[in-house]
Amino acid sequence: MAATRTASPVVIGVDSSTQSTKAAVVDVDTGAVRGLGRAPHTVTGADGARESDPEQWWSALREAVAAALAAADVPARAVTGIAVAGQQHGLVVLDAEGRPLRPALLWNDTRSAPQAAELTAALGGPDRWLARTGSVPVASMTATTWQWLRGHEPAVTAATAGVRLPHDFLTERLAGVAVTDPGDASGTCWYDTATAAYDPGILGLLGLDPALLPAVAPSGATRVGTLTAAAARALGLPSAVAVAAGTGDNMAAAVGLGLGGAGLLDHPVVSLGTSGTVFAATRTRPAAAGVAGFAAADGTYLPLGCTLNCSLAVDRFAGLLGLDREDTTPGDGVVVLPYLDGERTPDLPHATGLVTGLRHTTTPRAVLGAAYEGAAFTVLRALDDLLTACGLDPSDAAVRDRPLRLIGGGAQGRAWRETVRRLSGRSLVVPAATELVALGAAALAASAATGEDPVGLAAAWGTGEGETLPAVARDEETWNRIASVLDRATPSLLS
């Protein structure tokens, strides 16, 4: 009699990002991605508005999970856990039945810039916010968008029975419980990273009833329940599948890289996506203007700098110039500040793009190269701010000798890699794994199912390992030229 083959246990990690949902079916023992599914989202809005229908996220999750399971060719009974990592900061307001009252306001919606300034002043200035939440309000953080909604759509806020972040909304659909984690909660500006709890004084300032908020699980790996009967039917999975609390996308990427909080990492991370982010895991609670002092999914800290304009802005320049994104040369004296959506770091929510230094000899390829340089400069200067906030001198040779981990969609592009190498003067480690947010979510799901440490699981999977690109001499001339233009242009960009 032939023996029955036993399927290896797998988990599902979901990356619900700005533009799409990706679901990865991952082998618990090896970390191998057995199947990957994708489904797109629609983002609408103009003049600073950026919104999406949360119901579309749920539909996309179901579609992506179905595609991943089909690609993995594993039986449903092999799935033991699921976790969602979502785009940070988005504001989802629900009615009493758990249905969205309006489209979600996304992280790159900059309409709340006036509210950010008003809130900063109302609490007594940036230092007060840093001491209590680890971050200073900027346009798009959840507290500022809630305040914008209060002023512009009071009937909606009056009818609100639940306030959620994007990943919270999806986790609630899976497990039927309103829960978040310290990592994603720390991006709201109403969560105190020092006390690991919502700040009642700030909630009062916002007129936000704490009963509307989800409970905060101890970590993103916390098992918050199992699939509801409705979710199990929608996904074609057993109802016994464990559901983790999940986390924000940046926190999940850190888990996916196997980054713990033993101290400031030898490999700070630069992520090149729609936005550009820089982060590092540390046990030291950061509190510095210009750096978001987030919590990490594993209970440590994840100081982070974010720029709104990264790969999407550069791709827009490529489209305007009629070029392939890789058809580029260095800027040759041209400077592009690609602030097509305003900017967050530096805090210029009303800025527009700027191109200067054009000559008769300037080629389209050089203009595109300058767009890469402007975006990379903005991200790398945010990294310098982060290092300073963690007590390090960015100009110190020992600090500059530390490699950068380069992740995100842009990390796969030659032009992005070479521009970051040239402007940073650092060696780069480009992990072979490309779906690090989904892999981090999978590690959280595996932890919820097995009780093992999620960072340890991801480290054992080797997801942070990859190609190393040696350092090249730093292009000080280009760096200084961009810095000079930005410093001169900032007064006009603020207007």
Q: What is the C-alpha R_g of the chain?
A: 22
CA angle 199, 203, 209 (to 5 degrees): 120
Q: How far is CA 98 from its chain centroid? A: 25
Distances (CA, A) of 289 to 222, 304, 382, 447, 453: 31, 11, 11, 34, 32
**Exposure string for 301-314, b = 16+ CB within 10 A, e = fewer:** bbbbbbbbbbbbbb
Task: Give me the torsion for CA of 353, 119, 16, 104, rounded to 10°.
Answer: -90
Q: Which of 15, 27, 249, 298 is catalytic?
A: 249
Q: Which are the contacts of 115, defined by CB distance < 8 A and separation ≥ 6?
A: 137, 139, 144, 145, 147, 148, 151
Half-sphere exposure of 486 toward its Cβ, with a 13 Å CA cutoff?
21
Active site residue 249: yes
Q: Position of tokens 């995100």?
A: 408
CB atoms closer than 10 angstroms to residue 398? 8
* Main-chain dihedrals φ then ψ at residue 196, nearest 5 degrees: 55, 45
CB atoms closer than 10 angstroms to residue 346? 18
Q: Which are the contacts of 206, defined by CB distance < 8 A and separation ≥ 6?
A: 119, 143, 146, 147, 150, 190
Provide the annotated active-site residues: 249
